[in-house]
Structure 1
Amino acid sequence: MKRNISKSRAYLLCATALLAALAGQARAEEPFDLNGLIEAARKEKPITVYDSTGKIVDMAKNFAAKYGLTAEGSKVKATAQLEMIIREARANNVQGDVSIISDAPAAMAQLIPQGFAESWLPPDLAENIPAEYQDPLTVVTSANVWAYNTELFDKCPVSNIWELTEPKWKGKVAMQDPLGKPSYVDWFNQMAKHGDDKVAAAYKEHFGKDLQTEEASATAAWVKALAANAPLLTDADAAAADAVGAPGQSEPFMGLMASAKFRDNAEKGMKLGLCKDLKPWLGWLYPGVGLITKGTDSPNAARLFIHYVMTAEGIAPQTEDGKMSTNKEVGLPADEPSGIGSALDQVMPYQMSTSLDDWDARETWQDFWRVNYQK
C-alpha cells in the first residue's frame, strides 16, 4: 500500500513539474506587451540616462513627452560612466538608470559580468537587430573618420594611411590622444586582429614592396610610424576638428574625429571633408552599448527607454550626427552632413566578439604608443 502511495506521489510530482514547465514555456512565448510596459513605467520613479553625447538631453526630453514620464539625460564620458555606475552600485545608491556607454570592452569585462548592469533586448524589435548586436544590446555604432579641409583641397589629399607616416605630414595629423581615449587603442587592437592583412596590403600598394618589420603586426608597425611622426594630440574631437576644418588656413592638417563633428560645417562654417576611398579604411566604427543598471527603482521605465532609442523616432537626434542605429529598419537622414552613409563599406566595423581582447590589450597598446610618440 505504501509503495502505491509513493508511486502516486511520484506521478503527481512529475505531473506538477511538467505543468509548471509548460506554463513557464507558455509565459515565455507570450507576445511582448508594449502598452503594458508603458503603464508599468508610469508607476515608477523618474529615470536618469547617461550617454557621452549631449544629444541624450533632447532624447530624454522627447521620451518623457511621448510617454508622460519624467526622464533626464546626462552627458557623461564613457570612462566617467564606468566609474559612476560601479560606485553607485557599491553604495546602493543608484542614480543612473540607463547607460549608453561607448566603451564596449569595459561593459563586457566589468559592468555585465560583475553584476553592475545588464542588457535587455526589446523582443518585438529583435528580428531587426543583427545577432552580433543583441547580447549585449548595441544601440548605435558611431564612426571615427579621417577628414581634410575642403577649402584647401578638391578631394582628400591622402589616399593611403601609410602616407600619414611620411615627412610631409609630420606634425600635421590631429587626433585625440590614445592615452586618454580608450577607443583609439581598441581600434589598434581591432585592426591587428581583424584587418592586419589589409594594413600590410596598403603598405605594399603605397611603397611598392612588402612590409618588413620587427613588430608583432603590420598594424603595430603603422601605429609606431604614426606616433613617431609627431601627430597633434588633443583631448577632444572638437580640437581636432578645429585644426583640420577651420576656414582661412594655409597649413593643411589631416585629422581623425567623430562623424558628428561634420555638423560644424553648417553651424560654425567649418570646411570638413570626408576622406573617401582612403586605403584600407576611411575610419572605424565603435559601439554604444545600452545597459540597465542593477538596482534601479524603475526597471520598466528603463526598459521602455531602451525600446524607445531602438526606434527611428528615439534615436533621431543621434542619426542626424551620422550615428547608426543597429535596427536595420532605421537609416540615416538624407542630409546627414558627413556623408558617411554612402561610404559604410569603406569603414572598419567593430567586432564585439573580441571586445574582451581589446580590454586585455589596452595597457600594452598604450605603452607602445607612449614609447614611440614623438612631439
Structure 2
Amino acid sequence: MKKRKSYGSCLIALSLMIALTACNPKSTDTKAADTANKSSAKTDVSAAVTWAETNGLNKTETVDELYSKAKQEGKVVVYSQSSRIKDVKATFEAKYPGIKVEAFNMSTNDIVEKVIREQTAGIYNADVIFVKDASGAVTTELTTKKLVHKYIPKDLSEKMVEPYKSNSSGLVPYFSLRAIFYNTDVYKTSPVTNWWDLTMPEWKGKVLMNDPIDSADMMDLFLAMIQHSDEMKQAYKEKFGKDIVLEGTENASYEFIKRFLKNDPVLMKSSDEVVEAVGVSTQGKPPIGIGASSKLRDVIEKKLSIAATYDVLPKISVVGPSYLYVADKAPNVNAAKLMIRYMAGEADGKSDGFKPFNVMGSWSTRTDNGRTDQPSIDKLKVWNYDSDYFYKNFVKFREFWLKMQ
C-alpha cells in the first residue's frame, strides 16, 4: 500500500464520470448519467454551428472593430482553469476601458460540469472557456457537441507552429507538461534519467506526486505511457539490459505502474505541495517530485532549490495544451473574441494578456514570443496529446490504479 500525504476524494469529477457512464451502463452515478443524457438530448449541433458562423468565429477582425462592438456589450465572462486569470483581468480592463471582466477560477473538471449544466438548462452565461482537455472530456463533451467553439483568427494562427496552427480543436496559446523535479542543492544533474528508475529501491517512498484519480494531468501522463507501451518496453531494456518479463499485466506500461505503486509513491494534494517539498527538503537524499512544469516559476518567487529534467527515457512527458474557446451562444461574443486575442498574445505576440502564462515550464505555440531559457518546442521529447485515446481508456486505467492500491 503506498503512502498518502492527503486522501482527497476518490470520486472522479463529473467530466470524467460522463465517460464512465458511457463505458459502463450499470454505473450507479445517476447524477452524472442524467447530465450526460440531457446534454446529448438538448444539444443542437447544427444550430450551434450556425450561431458560430453568424457571429463571425471564422473571421479575422481588427482589434478596433472588436473593441467598438465589445464596449456595447460591456463585459466578458471567463471560466478559467488558471488562477492567473486575475492578472489578465487587471491588464485587460486597463487596456480596454468600458469592458468589465468577470473571471471565475475553477478546475477544468468543474468547468466541464458547469458548462454542461448551464447549457442544458438553457443558461448561457460564459463567454470564454479556458481549459485543458481533462483526459479528452473537453473534446468529447464540449467541443464535439458544440457547447464551445473554435476561434483562431488568421493573423494569430499564421504565427503558430503545427499542429496548433491548423489541426487543433481550439486556440492553444501554450502547453505545459508533467515534469520530474529534483533538489539542486543535493543533485547537480537529475538523478532520474529513465522512468523505470522510479521502481528502484532507492526511490521507495521518495517520489511525490498528485493522485491521478484527482488530477487529470497526472492521469494523462500514465495514459500516454500506456498508449506507447512499446517505448516503455524498450526503456526497460535500456535500463536493465534485458527484455521485460510481465508479472500478470498486459504490457510494459501497466507493469511499470504496478511496480511503481509497490515502491510507495507519496500522494500530495497539488503540484504546489510537490515542488515546495522537493525544493526545501533538508534530507540527505531528498525526494523527487512529479508535478506541473509551470511550477518552475516558483523557483524565483519562493526561492526554491528545484529544477526539472528534460532528458528522461523514453519521453519526458505528454503535452498538456491549454485551450481558449468561445462558449456557445456567448452573450458577449465580441468581447470574447477580443479577450481570446489578448490572452493569445495578439497579432504581434506582445500583449500583456499572454505574459502571466509565458513562464518557465510553459511553451508558447507561437514562433515569435517563446522563452529562450528552456528547451525549444522542437527539442522536447514528448508524447502528443491524444484526446480520443485518453477518453476511451481512462476508465480502464482508473480501475487498474485503484486495484493496485
TM-score normalised per structure 1: 0.83
In structure 1, what residue type is equivalent to 2:129? S
- Residues 157 and 322 of structure 1: is their aligned pair in 2 closer, same or farther, counting only changes over 3 Å? closer
1:128 to 2:159 alignment: yes
Structure 1's consecutive aligned runs of 4 or more residues displaced over 4 angstroms after TM superposition are 27-31
Give yes or no for contact 1:92–1:295 (8 Å, CA) kept in 2: no
State whether residues 172 and 322 of structure 2, in contact with CA within 8 Å, keep that contact through their aligned partners in structure 1. yes
- Counterpart secondary structure, 2:254: helix
The one of 267, 274, 284 aligned to 2:308: 274
The secondary structure found in structure 2 opposite 1:42 is helix
C-alpha RMSD over aligned residues: 2.4
**Alignment partners' CA distance in 2, 1:45 and 1:64:** 11
- Residue of structure 2 aligned with 1:117, choices 148, 153, 162: 148
Q: Pick from 97, 103, 109: which aligns with 1:73? A: 103
Task: State how far apart, in whole Å, the 2-side matches of 1:160 and 1:265 are.
Answer: 24
1:199 lines up with 2:228 in the alignment: no
Give, in whole Å, the separation in 1 of the partners of 2:226 and 2:268.
24
> What is the one-letter code of the residue matched to 1:66?
K
Deviation at 1:361, TM superposition (A): 1.1
What is the SS of the residue equivalent to 1:222? Answer: helix
Structure 2 unaligned runs (5+)? 1-52
Matched residue SS, 2:244: coil
Structure 2 residue corresponding to 1:320, chosen from 353, 359, 364: 359
236-245 or 85-94, which deviates more = 85-94
Unaligned 5+ segments in structure 1 are 1-23
Separation in structure 1 between the aligned mates of residue 279 and residue 162 of structure 2, nearest angstrom: 38
After TM superposition, the structure 1 = structure 2 runs for residues 1-375 of structure 1, keeping only pairs within 5 Å, are: 32-68=61-97, 69-103=99-133, 105-133=136-164, 134-193=168-227, 195-213=228-246, 214-311=248-345, 312=349, 313=351, 314-332=353-371, 334=372, 340-341=374-375, 345-351=379-385, 354-373=386-405
Contact 1:32/1:124 (<8 A) preserved: no
Do 2:57 and 2:150's aligned partners in 1 also have CA atoms closer than 8 Å? no
% identical aligned pairs: 29
**Residue aligned with 2:163, SS:** helix
Take 2:239 and 2:377, find their aligned partners in 1: how far apart are those partners? Answer: 22
Distance 1:131 1:253, change over 3 A: same
Which amino acid is 1:361 matched to? N
Instruction: Please report the TM-score for the alignment, with normalisation by the length of structure 2.
Output: 0.78
- Counterparts of 2:59 and 2:212 in 1: how far apart (Å)? 47
Q: Which position in structure 2 is the counterpart of 1:11?
A: none
Q: 1:342 to 1:135 in 2, by over 3 A?
A: closer
For residue 31 of structure 1, report the CA deviation from its aligned partner.
Answer: 6.3
Total equivalences in the alignment: 340
**In structure 2, do the counterparts of structure 1 residues 344 and 55 end up closer, same or farther at CA, with 3 Å as the change threshold?**
farther
